[in-house]
Structure 1
Amino acid sequence: MPTRPSRTARITAGALTAAAAALPAAALAHPASAAPPPAASRKPPAHATAAVLDLDGTGRTTVVRGADRAYDTASIVKVDILAALLLRAQDAGRPLSEAERALAEPMIRRSDNGAANALWRRIGRASGLAAANERLGLTSTTGGPGGKWGLTRTTASDQIRLLRAVFDSGGTVRRGSGGLDGDSRAYVRTLMGRVVSGQAWGVSAAGSPGSRAVLKNGWLQRSTTGRWDVNSVGEVSVRGHRYLVAVLSDGNASMGDGVSLVERTARAAV
């Protein structure tokens, strides 16, 4: 008969990610016959946090699964960069220029880093991002140092605030204050709905089969640890309801592991 998994080999509850908490206990245990790795070779487990808001629900309250702590954004910050750029254009009473669009579109659709570098400088780097985020209602996002936009730090709940600024009604919009106007919100949504097929993974896994991916993903291998930050934010449709979903993760052994964790976490959260 098969042996039962060892209780001492289970991952402790305090280390469970939001997604792993939803999995059967057997999937989290080492086989009883397998010796645990030496303490010196063990690496901390990956962690993930998910935040979800039902746009068509009555409560309109964000639900967070996991510790709502700060993570590196990697490339999901490109949505925030674009929002800051659009606010600057709104304040100047103009649409984006052709040159700005030529950078914004590959930055979102293909996650082009060169385009992000140029627009990060154009918005004023971290200080410009902070000014935009104050208007958009973000409270827990800090821009990366110097040109390192990918090291911006954010929380899952703050990413829902950003998504609301893009996918929800805009509220009062004034030059120099307020959020994104209707044209700006539509532009961001359009680009997020046209990401290249190889980057359509992530929160889209929580949507109904056949539904369109409207998202932005980010991934970054940390040079200090070799571990991966993998994130995904966007809107999914499930049984007639629109959900805003943000899943942030770190400590992944590989990008593939991170993608799997993000997708499991998104499905469990929605």
Structure 2
Amino acid sequence: MDARREHLTDIAGIVGIVATADENVTYGVAVRDTATGRTTAHHHGPTPAHPSASVVKLGILVALLLRCQDAGREPTAEERVSAAQMMERSDNDAATALWHVIGGADAMDAAHRRLGLRESAAAPEWGLSRTTATDQLTLLAAVFGEGATPLSERSRAFAVDLMTHVVADQAWGVSAAGSAPALKNGWMPLSATGLWVVNSVGRVTAGGRDVLVAVLSGGHPTKDAGIALVERAARAAVSAVGAR
């Protein structure tokens, strides 16, 4: 068994007990140790793609920053206020306002392609956009400057600052896997089933190293059940790359 397969097994073994306890539950997890470059991913369910819920707000922010860079300008005062409300408090009205600024679903898809996301698809209702844990890891790498990124240092600093100031009652998720979290979470019940989508993406420090983690999940009977799985998956993922 190669090293990467071992890490996949570690994640599946620790998280799968929870996921398979309810046939409705699906999840995807991806992780990168920025010190070693060790990266691995695993998903449980028929497809690795999940509804984004509010983690799409990180993508909206990045698309806005790219748009500003292309125009040779800084975000306006109004855009900066909306970005802060969207990222720190997960304000939906602010997200909708910036969704229109960037140009909606087509513009989001274009930003995704530019950033190297290959499995994500924006939807007219932004919360129903679909993405994968591996694509979210690619987005995180762009934000945190891991490898080539079209984002300027100034744009990245702005995004990271917002991710480190999420209000306390929304700071769950990948934060369970380490200290000094910078994150964005998403959660919503699906109208068709009443079951919850619960997602968390971000960076934590564990074992003295910075680790990027993305966990997407669905099929939960409650938001709290989803949070419990996401946090378990985040801890398992960080352990799988040897950072705990």
Please say whether Structure 1 and Structure 2 have the same fold, judged by a TM-score greater than 0.5: yes
Distance 1:169 1:255 in 2: 31
Could you tell me which of 154, 163, 176 is aligned with 2:131?
154
Cα distance change on mapping 1:28 and 1:252 into 2, 3 Å: closer
Cα distance change on mapping 1:256 and 1:92 into 2, 3 Å: same
**Aligned equivalent of 1:256:** 224
Q: Confirm or deny: 8 A CA contact 2:187 2:196 kept in the other structure.
A: yes
Q: Name the % identity.
A: 48
Deviations 1:171-229 (A, max 9, x none): 3xxxxxx611000001000000000000100001011xxx2221000001001101000
| 1:66 Cα deviation after fit | 2.2
Distance 1:47 1:20 in 2: 12
1:70-89 equivalence runs, <5 A = 70-89=49-68
**Aligned equivalent of 1:167:** 144
Whichever residue aligns with residue 206 of structure 1, its letter is A
Stretch of structure 1 that moved more, 131-140 or 220-229: 131-140
**Aligned equivalent of 1:120:** 99
Q: Confirm or deny: 8 A CA contact 1:19 1:48 kept in the other structure.
A: no
Residue 22, structure 1, aligned to residue 1, structure 2: no
Structure 1, gaps ≥5 residues long:
1-17, 31-42, 172-177
Bigger relative contact order (CA 8 A; separation at least 6): 2
Residue 107, structure 1, aligned to residue 86, structure 2: yes
Deviations 1:94-127 (A, max 9, x none): 1100011111000000000000011111111110
Q: Confirm or deny: 8 A CA contact 2:15 2:233 kept in the other structure.
A: no
Q: Confirm or deny: 8 A CA contact 1:143 1:151 kept in the other structure.
A: yes
Q: Confirm or deny: 8 A CA contact 1:19 1:266 kept in the other structure.
A: no
Structure 2, gaps ≥5 residues long:
1-9, 239-244
Whichever residue aligns with residue 103 of structure 1, its letter is S
Q: CA RMSD in A?
A: 2.3
Distance 1:248 1:151 in 2: 13
Q: Confirm or deny: 8 A CA contact 1:170 1:179 kept in the other structure.
A: no
**Aligned equivalent of 2:6:** none
**Aligned equivalent of 1:188:** 159
Residue 266, structure 1, aligned to residue 242, structure 2: no
Q: Confirm or deny: 8 A CA contact 2:55 2:184 kept in the other structure.
A: yes
Cα distance change on mapping 1:70 and 1:23 into 2, 3 Å: closer
Distance 2:210 2:181 in 1: 12
Distance 2:136 2:166 in 1: 18
Residue 221, structure 1, aligned to residue 189, structure 2: yes
Q: Confirm or deny: 8 A CA contact 2:19 2:25 kept in the other structure.
A: no
Distance 2:146 2:63 in 1: 17
Higher alpha-carbon Rg: 1
Equivalenced residues, count:
228
| 1:62 Cα deviation after fit | 2.6
1:51-90 equivalence runs, <5 A = 51-57=30-36, 60-67=37-44, 69-90=48-69
Residue 243, structure 1, aligned to residue 222, structure 2: no
Cα distance change on mapping 1:102 and 1:70 into 2, 3 Å: same
Deviations 1:68-115 (A, max 9, x none): 610000000000000000001001111100011111000000000000
Q: Confirm or deny: 8 A CA contact 1:232 1:246 kept in the other structure.
A: yes
More helix by share: 2
Distance 1:45 1:224 in 2: 13
Could you tell me which of 134, 138, 143 is aligned with 2:113?
134
Whichever residue aligns with residue 117 of structure 1, its letter is T
Cα distance change on mapping 1:218 and 1:23 into 2, 3 Å: closer
Distance 1:179 1:260 in 2: 34
